Structure formats: C-alpha cells, structure tokens
Amino acid sequence: SRRPAANSVIRPDFKFEDLGIGGLDREFSDIFRRAFASRIFPPGLAEKLGIQHVRGILLYGPPGTGKTLIARQIGKMLNARDPKVINGPEVLNKYVGQSEENIRKLFADAEKEQKEKGDESGLHIIIFDELDAVCKQRGSGAGGGTGVGDSVVNQLLSKLDGVDQLNNILLIGMTNRKDMIDEALLRSGRLEVHMEISLPDEAGRQQILKIHTTKMRENGKMASDVDLAELARSTRNFSGAEIAGLVKSASSFALQRHLKGGTVAALKDDVGDMQIRMEDFLGALQEVHPLFGVSEEDLE
C-alpha cells in the first residue's frame, strides 16, 4: 500500500479531545501551527513558498507534565510510524565512539527509506528524552569530563544539518533543563520550535482528572459524591503524572475498604459494588504530594 507523502500526513479524523491530553490545548495547537503547518500544505506548496519543514522541536518543563504524551500523540496524528524513543543517559555509552554510532543509527533508517522512496517514505519521528544528559553546553564536561558529551552534540548537529535533503525526519527533544542544552542545537533549522509545557492550572487539572477517571466512570465504579471540580482546586502544583498517581491511590483506598468485607479470593471473582468515593480521594490527597515546581497560580 502507498505510504502518505511527507507533506500530506495529517490524519483526516483528528480531534484534540481524543488525544487524552488534559489542559494543553493551547500548547498543542501552537506546536501544530509552528511545526506542522508546512506539512499539511497541499503537496508542492511548501516548495513554491520556499519553506522548509521544521525538523526539530524542543519540549521543556517540569517532570510528568505530559511532554512524552504530546510527542507520541503528535506521531499518531501525523500517521507516522511508531516513534523511536531514546533516552539521553542511554545514548551516553562509556565506550569511545559508541555514543556517536548510536546517534548515527537513529537516523539511518529514515535516511535509507527516503533515498529509496523519496517523498513517499512517510514521517519518522525520533523522541529524545532527557536530552540535557548528552547535549549540555559543549566544553562543560558533560559525559563525566571525558568529552563524550561534546562529540555527541557534534554528531547530532551534523545529522540534523545533513537532513537538508530529507523531508521525513522530525526530532522531538525533551528536557527539564532547557538552560543546559547547547545553544547551537536550538538554532533555526535544528530544534527550532521551543515549547514550554508547564504544570496544569485548575481547569487543566480538572480535565486531567476526567481523563484518568474515564474508565471508572464508564464502568459505574465512581460514586456520585466524587467532586472533580473540588479535587481540581485541591491539587495545586500537581503535575499530570501526580494526578494519575492520585487516582491510583484513591482506587487503592476503595479496594482496601472493599476487602474488609471479604477475602481476597472473593474479590478476585467479583469486585461487585466496589466504588471509588470522595473519601478515597481525600485519603489519597494525604498520601500523594506534588514534588516539584510552582504553578502559574502561585505566581499571580
């Protein structure tokens, strides 16, 4: 079957609500406009306008805020094949030359396909998590003072610059420390679209709570006294990941209560009328606390 051409990859049935990302609609549509507008032009228009596709995005912000989630959903939406996910510390192999080889390999498949199939080769997304681990300012001694970090940055730069003829690669870098990333990497033509993904505000937290309680609500496992608006107010400074943790903790309280009425064996066959109640969420709030960061509300 024919693969979609590199500049008509968007899925026609795309809806933001279906992505399961809470509270980041503005960020998502901004990334979309800045990084993908050129790819959804009718074929040939980008060439006529003399515009090159964006080949790199940097998502930065505190841990657990949905950076990986967004990166993966971008891939789905663009009908790209499953993204390659690579982790900074993993790339930093202690053997001389191996880290550079790892970077080279990352790009090799996409390059090969583009050579063989031209614009029909579809989009390859490479997600690079914890980018700061390998791409610290050169000369800063990243990689344990061995200079390994420097040559990894150089290799990544030469790969990104070398994809001049390649339409089909998109690198999505992620970091909690944008200030640590070598500036050369952040320039135009490289990781040129920068987007901060910060902690969710109250409305965002309510959306995230909704997303992470979808299943239990659909299955009648959430009691009617659970007030998500109230919980959104009580979870200031929580990241999306911490809100997911809160829901998990609340479930464990509900299970514990349910268990008191029977045995584990009985529970295995039948969770029966078990429901997660507001009291379970209040218990969870005593247990799950935000680790990082200051939300925008605190700065007001």
Binding residues (CB under 6 A) for ligand ATP: these are 20-24, 63-69, 129, 174, 176, 208, 211, 240-241, 244
| Nearest one of 166, 158, 157, 137 to 149, comparing CA atoms | 137
* Nearer to ligand ATP (CB atom), residue 69 or residue 135: 69
Least separation in angstroms between residue 290's CB and ligand ATP is 13
Least separation in angstroms between residue 15's CB and ligand ATP is 15
* Nearer to ligand ATP (CB atom), residue 93 or residue 176: 176
**Residue tagged 């080279």 (tokens):** 104
Least separation in angstroms between residue 147's CB and ligand ATP is 27
Least separation in angstroms between residue 295's CB and ligand ATP is 13
* Nearer to ligand ATP (CB atom), residue 22 or residue 122: 22
* Nearer to ligand ATP (CB atom), residue 186 or residue 241: 241
Non-local (6+) Cβ contacts of 23 within 8 A are 200, 201, 203, 204, 205, 207, 208, 240
157 dihedral zone (left: phi>0; alpha: psi -120 to 50; beta): alpha
Least separation in angstroms between residue 293's CB and ligand ATP is 11
Sort 192 into a burial class: Cβ within 10 Å, 0-12 / 13-18 / 19+: middle
Name the DSSP class of 136.
Answer: B
* Nearer to ligand ATP (CB atom), residue 208 or residue 222: 208
* Nearer to ligand ATP (CB atom), residue 146 or residue 214: 214
Least separation in angstroms between residue 214's CB and ligand ATP is 11
The backbone torsions φ and ψ at residue 60, rounded to the nearest 5 degrees and listed phi first, read -135, 155
Query: Measured at CB, which residue is nearest to ligand ATP?
Result: 240
CB burial readout 92-113, b (16+ within 10 A) else e = bbeeeeebbebbeebbeebbeb
Q: Are 137 and 24 in contact (CB under 8 A)?
A: no
